[in-house]
Structure 1
Amino acid sequence: MKKIFVLVLVTFLISFRSVDSFAQQKGDPLFQAPLGIAAYTFRNEFPKGVEQTLDIIQKLGFKEYEGGTAGLSPEEFKKLCAERGISIPSTGTGFEQLEENPQAVADRVKALGAKYVMCAWIPHNGDFTKENADRAIKAFNEGGKVLKENGIIFKYHVHGYEFQPYGDGTLLDYIIENTNPEYVSLQMDVMWTHFGGGDPVALLKKYGNRWVSLHLKDFRKGAPKDMTGLTGPENDVPLGTGELDIPGILRESNRIGIKHMFIEDESDQELENLPKSIAYLKSLKY
């Protein structure tokens, strides 16, 4: 009887699969989030017409949008997106707006119906310094608290200049370690992280569920990198054609439970490149 019980138990344990392992069966798609787009991708199109740009976004198959309202009221922009089956889980804010009036930021985010708001740039001149980081830590903790009280999750969008060495790590480590996880989450822009000298997969593993979303883009092979957080549009290439380990990034993102991934194409050939990036993402399997 004991041997039978052990055999049954072993069989059960072998057949049992965790949620993570269900997401990693051979042939399952690596890209498991709704197809998302970052608004900056269409910086050249929105001035030609908001509705026609949203039509392009819809035709490309995007279901989630992150960004501003292209000059419209939040209510009108939200309506136009909803008519096209596009949700707005996340929007953005400038650093000074967050620092000076986080409640006004919260009011705008709520009018748009978004759950997240991200800040993509910390003011600095030349090299990013500890003083810049300390200013950000204060603004993020205080602003993030106000946002949480309004039902909104604040996230800092890593931009590459934060990889200046500090202590046993970098100023990015310093910011993450000194911001309250209750008030400050993170968005990884995988290209800017790589551009600044960071390892996207290692950082996803290191900080786990602090990461709540990604910006997906790729970097031209062999192009120079630094910690400015700035590079030319010619260095933004379709996903899968550059230096980034996109499959590895997606595997780790799935493992830690990231639910929102936004393609951001900063090239000047976004309408040509986006279908290539989408096809690449859809081709990736476990």
Structure 2
Amino acid sequence: MNYNRRKFLQSTGTLVLGGLALSGKAGSLLSGMAPHPVGLQLFTFFGIIDDDVKGTLTKIAAVGYKEMESAFSKKGGYYGMKPKDFKAMVNDLGMKWKSHHVLGAPFKMPPGAKMPNGPDGKPMVIPPMKNLRDNMQELVDDAAEGGIQYLVCANAPTGTIEEIKSSIDILNKTGVACKKAGIQFCYHNHDMEFKAVDGQVPYHMLLTETDAKNVKMELDLAWAVKGGQDPVQLFKDHPGRFPLWHVKDLDATHTTILPVGSGTIDFKRIFANKAESGMQHFFVEHDGPKDALASIKSSYEYISGTLKA
């Protein structure tokens, strides 16, 4: 099932989208460069992790993942826990909690939209989710309480010029609030941001009309490729703007998400340009895999075995 975050967010009634470290023993990604711990975006386990948070995190740590980016939870908040409690659990398992995803602003629900099934095959039940437009300071304060380095806007409306400008305003205001809290704010893309709206490309507007210091980017490599972009060219055009990456693969038609290294994306070339991008952390992600644990094991093996020097 080609389930993804876009469909998930759409199903909550908050989203309509127009169009998607290595561990010490793994060695360095490139000769002469310091290794990066392999990170994981927990959206990979959406619909699963809430049933057994500690058990799921224990399995993830056993694979070798050392860094964590949290996401949406059916329990709300941080998988039903307070920020400090979630951080303690992650740390106790030998991992570091680096980043968290939040929504930018509510999206309009499309007519006739229905809740999709989650990875467990059952219709998802999603609680109302807070967003930066309406709950910015609370979300920033929670992230600061958890002591994470990054707060990431997972998505924001960009279907019209008015929506883009409103999202830019929200991103800039959140960037200021995060800076005051000692957190770096970032924006995470799908492929919709690369589709022209009234002759303008939303992602270009996001890059050029947000404060480059306060609003960095978490580049989802696969969604960028699906959107017709060359990640390396983005790095060259906006050096240092991409401290975070999402790493997943795509099939030849760019319609099916695959474990890293089992698709068509040239990760060796992309990682060879990580310094110019400003990358500090990267997170493996697989939206709605049939077997999340098998997927993250496959991705980890490829990253630690093939991308090392």
TM-score for both structures, normalised by structure 1? 0.81
Asked if structure 1 preserves the Cα contact closer than 8 Å seen for 2:61 and 2:95, the reply is: yes
Q: Distance in 2 between matches of 1:193 and 1:87?
A: 27
**Against the structure 1 CA distance between its residues 32 and 205, is the aligned structure 2 distance closer, same or farther, given a 3 Å change threshold?**
farther
Say yes or no: does 1:241 pair with 2:268: no
> Could you say which residue in structure 1 is the equivalent of 2:210?
179
Shift of 1:263: 0.2
Q: Distance in 1 between matches of 2:276 and 2:65?
A: 23
Shift of 1:44: 3.5
Say yes or no: does 1:67 pair with 2:70: yes
Q: Distance in 1 between matches of 2:51 and 2:167?
A: 35
- Unmatched tracts of structure 2, length 5 or more: 1-27, 72-77, 106-130
Q: Distance in 2 between matches of 1:242 and 1:216?
A: 12
Q: Distance in 2 between matches of 1:46 and 1:207?
A: 36
Q: Distance in 1 between matches of 2:135 and 2:300?
A: 37
Percent identity of paired positions between Structure 1 and Structure 2: 28
Say yes or no: does 1:36 pair with 2:35: no
Secondary structure of the residue that 1:32 maps to in structure 2? Answer: coil
Asked if structure 2 preserves the Cα contact closer than 8 Å seen for 1:158 and 1:193, the reply is: yes
Q: Partner letter of residue 155 of structure 1?
A: C
Shift of 1:171: 1.9
Of residues 78, 100, 123, the one that matches 2:134 is 100
Asked if structure 2 preserves the Cα contact closer than 8 Å seen for 1:157 and 1:189, the reply is: yes
Say yes or no: does 1:133 pair with 2:164: yes
Q: Partner letter of residue 290 of structure 2?
A: D
Shift of 1:116: 0.6
Q: Partner letter of residue 258 of structure 2?
A: V
Shift of 1:255: 3.9
Asked if structure 2 preserves the Cα contact closer than 8 Å seen for 1:217 and 1:239, the reply is: yes
Shift of 1:48: 2.5
CA offsets, 1:98-148, max 9 Å, x none? 122322112100121101100111135xxx222221111110111211111
Say yes or no: does 1:261 pair with 2:295: no
Say yes or no: does 1:53 pair with 2:84: no
CA offsets, 1:23-72, max 9 Å, x none? 853xx68x932110001011143132111011111101111100142111
> Could you say which residue in structure 2 is the equivalent of 1:205?
236
Of residues 56, 63, 85, the one that matches 1:76 is 85
Asked if structure 1 preserves the Cα contact closer than 8 Å seen for 2:249 and 2:261, the reply is: yes
Of residues 133, 143, 150, the one that matches 1:116 is 150
> Could you say which residue in structure 2 is the equivalent of 1:273?
295
Shift of 1:269: 2.3
Higher helix content, 1 or 2 = 1
Larger Rg: 1
Secondary structure of the residue that 1:71 maps to in structure 2? Answer: coil
Q: Distance in 1 between matches of 2:215 and 2:299?
A: 30
- Unmatched tracts of structure 1, length 5 or more: 1-21, 225-234
Q: How many correspondences in the alignment?
A: 249
Aligned-pair RMSD on alpha carbons? 2.1
